[in-house]
Amino acid sequence: MKIVIATKNNGKLSEIEKILGSAGAELLTLNEFPDINLPEETGQTFLENAVAKAVYAARKTGMSALADDSGLEVEYLRGRPGVRSARYAGVGATDEENYRKLLKEMAGAPHDQRRGRFVCVIALAEPTGEVHAFEGSLEGFITEAPRGADGFGYDPVFFIPEKNRTCAEINPDEKNSISHRGRALRKLKTWMEERLP
């Protein structure tokens, strides 16, 4: 089974390969289909965006396609940045610009109101039009300043109480074992292993 991962983001690709690599499917990416550009994310939920991207990539390639949408929901900001996580500080914003905006908006927020969670929804669309979705989440707190050099996105400002570190302070394998994307991917992997010969 060939699956096209509907992303050109190498950080995501690395996480996906580490978990799905042993599931018996050949993984390709949109880097191998340079003429395909994903549609703009216009959904109101992570599920809507993931499904739209997966269905589009499956139609364009004629293969099963996997897409995810993920982001950070912060209690103090009533769920923001949410589906706008990747472009919170504007279209084309860097990871640092996004998390600096987040920290600025949360300046002065007490610890008990700094709860947040990473959410990831993965959609697998088949050429037949059938779609399967899997969700994972990771609970934590938003720090007052960035910490750590690993990871990407909001990892430097997302503190995991059980680890007593931010996502950017733990190594990639440890992160994959607990991350929102890792949890969603393991659900997908279990489903694939039950389905593939």
For residue 138, what are the contacts with CB-CB under 8 A and spacing of at least 6? Answer: 117, 118, 158, 160, 178, 179, 180, 183
Measured CA to CA, the distance from residue 158 to residue 156 in angstroms comes to: 6
Q: Is 112 a catalytic residue?
A: no
Kindly tell me the sign of the dihedral angle through the C-alpha atoms of 36, 41, 43, 48. positive
Measured CA to CA, the distance from residue 178 to residue 25 in angstroms comes to: 23
Q: Which two tokens stand for residue 78?
A: 């009533």
Do residues 119 and 85 touch, judged by C-beta distance below 8 A? no
Helix (H) or strand (E) holding 117: strand 115-125
Q: Which two tokens stand for residue 125?
A: 């669309």
**Taking the CB of residue 62, how many other CB atoms lie within 10 A of it?**
10
Given the structure tokens 């993931």, which residue do they identify? 50
For residue 60, what are the contacts with CB-CB under 8 A and spacing of at least 6? Answer: 33, 36
Given the residues 35, 69, 95, 150, the one annotated as active site: 69
- Supply the residues annotated as catalytic: 69
